[in-house]
Structures are given as C-alpha cells and as structure tokens.
C-alpha cells in the first residue's frame, strides 16, 4: 500500500525570546526582525507568533495576517512552559525558536515530531555567562536547522560547536524599502529639510549614530573623532540617537561619561533620547553619513542596511558581519578597529566634504539593498528552506 503524502505547506510557530512584547515600538531588533519576516512569510504559509503579554495587549489577535498568541512572563522557565502548552494546542509542523538555544531542550522533548529551527541574531546567547559551551552543544543537538544572519556568525558557531556545523545556514536580514526610502528623492529631500530645520541644523554636515549607548558600540571613539573633524569642518555636527536600554532613557555611568566628553565639543554634539523604530527613517534621512564604530562582534548590524536603503553612506568598523554588508569604497568605508583613532575621522571628513561622493555611495547602497537585503528576499529564502524540509519529512 502506498503511503499518503501530507500537504507540503508547513505551519510555522515562532517562539520569541520573551524579553519584550511583540509587536511593540519599544522592542529590540530581534523582535523587529521577527515581525518583519513574519509579515512576509504569512503571505506564503500560516504563521503564529508566540510571546509575552504586555498589559495593553490581548491574549490573542491577528495583525497583518499573523496570529499572535501571548502568555505571562515570570521568568524563562515558566515562559517556555506556557509556550509549550500553546504549541501543543496549535500542533505546528515547524517550530522556530529565536535567539534562545536553551529553549530547544524542552521543545524537542515535548514536540519530537516537529521540525525545530533555531534562529540566532547575535553571539550573546551562545556565550557565557548566558550558556556554557557544554550546555550549548547539548542544546544544539535538538535543532534540525540553525539559521544565522551572517557568515561571520556561522563561522563563529562552527568553531564553538563543530558538531553542529552541518546544520548551520546563513540567511541575511532585510529592510523595509517602503518604510526606509531614498533621501535623494523629492519626498526624501522634503522630509530631510523639515527635520534638519527642527534641529536648527539646516546647513550642518550631520554625522549620525543610531543605536544603544553602550561601550561595545564604540560611541566614545566617535565623540573623540569629532575633535579632529570639527577642526577641519566647523559645520560638522554629531547626532546621537539612542539610549543605553531599549525603550528607556535611563542614564548609566557610560552615558554620563559620553555627555561629559561631548561638553568639550560645545554645540557640535546633540543627544536624541530613545526613538521608536517606526520613527527611525526620518532620523536616518537627515544624515550626510552614518557611523557604526562598534568594537564588539556585531553579527550583522541592521542599522547598516537601513541607512543604505535611505541612500546614506556608512562608515563602520571592520568587525563581524558588518564586513558582509558594507562594500568598502562602494557603499561606504570600513575602518580598522586597531587604527580607529586615525581612520575614523579621516573617513568621516572624506565623506562629509564631498556631496558627489555622498550621492555615489548612497546610490550604490540603494542598489545593494535591492539586490540582497529586502524582507521579501529574506522571507523567500526562509520559506524555501522550510518547504524543502517539510517535503523531506512528508512521507509517513
């Protein structure tokens, strides 16, 4: 007797970390990536997103075709227990766990027939103090596939856990090209002019930083570089958009140090508190150049592609997956972290002093985004992988 073939169309459940509610304007980049990917995946397959409940959110709702299911969050153990119960009711073909390898153990045990996918966004939760190498190795045994957002992260994980190497696949992130649009367009120029007028900076050369104000982001190096920049270009202004924590303007010792250093630069530095992601396009659009001076191992750096989609050149350190996003000399410039004190101000000045160069780099960035870094493309690659895996397990 021939076996019956199940429908190859997979039903996907996405398990969010539980750190922030989703969707939310105050979440981290992890939740933003999940939401954008899901919005495009749901056009191809049923998608359920499971996460923590905020006080103002319903337990269940459907938004843009995505079915959201929420549970109480009282710590990771109770959270994953509640999530497991939701999964048991939904009975999905594929369970995608985002950025929490520790969740894999219980979900593999409770749902042995499901395809289990781990999506990693950074090195944070695959290193100590969050997890030991021994525990990570054990957790990854439960995954059928491990998706990372850069070849850098792939190599890093292969080195840490060689036994998981064959499971790891690189899927680049995307950007919403309907939300982040070219600053060189007529509409982009109008928005840019209005924003710069509000900042009383219509004729400034704006150097922009967007991100968390924490040491590994290298903001102190950028403030230091401004001393040399303004000597050569007195109209230069540094605009720092962000805070130490997601959705909060709490001031840390590091932030106090940045403010103290910035005072030496008089009115050449402006701090803009935490900005919700939906407001980010108009802020990026004011920039003549975006600077990403990270000194830690950035896996991808979503802000890089958001700037490129806006037609803004990017100057970034040559670390982690950033090197896969920025084309040196084509969409921006990469700086050697060991020579950041000299190379950073040199490259900032090179860009802000030459509007033709800004436009060339910006338009190259726009083309690169459309070729490689859209959410449509990211969802297509993910759907193809899941469909193929589902087909391979369809015979019973």
- When pLDDT is averaged across residues 256-261 and rounded to a whole number, the result is 94
Mean residue pLDDT across the chain: 94
In this predicted structure, the answer to whether residue 94 has a pLDDT above a threshold of 60 is: yes
Which pLDDT score is estimated for 85? 97
Residue 394: what are its φ and ψ, rounded to 5°? -75, -30
In this predicted structure, the answer to whether residue 285 has a pLDDT above a threshold of 80 is: yes
Q: Which tens digits make up the pLDDT trace of 318-367? A: 999 999 999 999 999 999 999 999 999 999 999 999 999 999 999 999 99
DSSP symbol at 20: S
Which pLDDT score is estimated for 196? 97
In this predicted structure, the answer to whether residue 120 has a pLDDT above a threshold of 70 is: yes
Q: Which tens digits make up the pLDDT trace of 11-32? A: 999 999 999 999 987 788 999 9
Which pLDDT score is estimated for 9? 66
**Sheet-wide strand order for 115-120:** 60-63, 66-71, 47-52, 12-15, 94-98, 115-120, 145-148, 168-170
Which pLDDT score is estimated for 27? 82
Cα–Cα distance for residue pair 56/325, rounded to 1 Å: 37
Binned at pLDDT 50, 70 and 90, residue 48 comes out as very high
**HSE toward the beta carbon, residue 329, CA cutoff 13 A:** 0
- When pLDDT is averaged across residues 133-156 and rounded to a whole number, the result is 98
Binned at pLDDT 50, 70 and 90, residue 8 comes out as low
Which pLDDT score is estimated for 248? 66
Cα–Cα distance for residue pair 217/57, rounded to 1 Å: 32
134, two tokens:
């021994």
The predicted model scores a pTM of 0.93
In this predicted structure, the answer to whether residue 228 has a pLDDT above a threshold of 60 is: yes
Q: Which residues contact 320 (CB under 8 A, 6 or more apart)?
A: 150, 152, 153, 294, 296, 297, 298, 299, 300, 301
- In which residue are the tokens 């900042």 written? 199
Query: Is the separation of the CB atoms in 19 and 28 below 8 Å?
Result: yes
Which pLDDT score is estimated for 2? 46
Please tell me whether residue 118 adopts helix, strand or coil conformation.
strand
Which pLDDT score is estimated for 90? 96
- When pLDDT is averaged across residues 388-393 and rounded to a whole number, the result is 88
Domains of the chain: 12-173+375-392 (3.40.50.2000), 186-372 (3.40.50.2000)
**pLDDT above 90: percentage of residues in the chain:** 90
């Amino acid at each position: 007797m021939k076996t019956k073939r199940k429908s190859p169309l997979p039903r996907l459940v996405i398990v969010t970390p539980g750190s922030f509610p989703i969707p939310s304007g105050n979440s981290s980049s992890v939740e933003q990536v999940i939401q954008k990917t899901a919005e495009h995946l749901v056009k191809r397959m049923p998608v359920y997103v499971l996460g923590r409940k905020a006080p103002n959110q319903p337990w269940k709702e459907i938004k843009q075709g995505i079915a959201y299911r929420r549970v109480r969050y009282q710590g990771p153990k109770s959270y994953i227990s509640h999530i497991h119960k939701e999964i048991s009711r939904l009975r999905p073909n594929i369970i995608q766990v985002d950025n929490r390898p520790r969740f894999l153990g219980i979900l593999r045990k409770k749902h042995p027939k499901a395809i289990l996918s781990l999506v990693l966004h950074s090195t944070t939760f695959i290193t100590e103090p969050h997890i030991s190498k021994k525990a990570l190795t054990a957790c990854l045994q439960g995954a059928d596939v491990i998706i990372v957002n850069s070849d850098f992260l792939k190599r890093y994980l292969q080195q840490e856990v060689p036994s998981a190497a064959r499971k790891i696949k690189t899927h680049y992130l995307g950007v919403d090209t309907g939300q982040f649009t070219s600053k060189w367009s007529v509409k982009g120029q109008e928005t840019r002019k209005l924003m710069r007028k509000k900042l009383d900076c219509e004729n400034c050369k704006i150097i922009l930083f967007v991100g968390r104000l924490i040491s590994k982001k290298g903001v102190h190096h950028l403030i230091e570089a401004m001393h040399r920049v303004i000597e050569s270009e007195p109209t230069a202004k540094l605009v720092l958009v962000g805070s130490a924590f997601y959705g909060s303007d709490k001031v840390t010792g590091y932030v106090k140090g940045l403010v103290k250093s910035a005072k030496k630069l008089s009115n050449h530095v402006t701090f803009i508190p935490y900005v919700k992601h939906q407001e980010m396009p108009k802020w990026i659009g004011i920039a003549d150049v975006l600077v990403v001076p990270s000194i830690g191992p950035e896996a991808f750096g979503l802000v890089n592609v958001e700037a490129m989609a806006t037609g803004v050149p990017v100057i970034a350190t040559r670390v982690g997956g950033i090197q896969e996003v920025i084309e040196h000399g084509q969409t921006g410039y990469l700086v050697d972290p060991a020579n950041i004190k000299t190379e950073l101000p040199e490259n900032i000045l090179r860009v802000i002093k030459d509007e033709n160069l800004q436009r060339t780099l910006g338009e190259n960035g726009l083309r690169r985004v459309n070729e490689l870094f859209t959410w449509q493309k990211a969802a297509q690659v993910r759907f193809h992988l899941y469909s193929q895996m589902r087909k391979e397990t369809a015979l019973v």
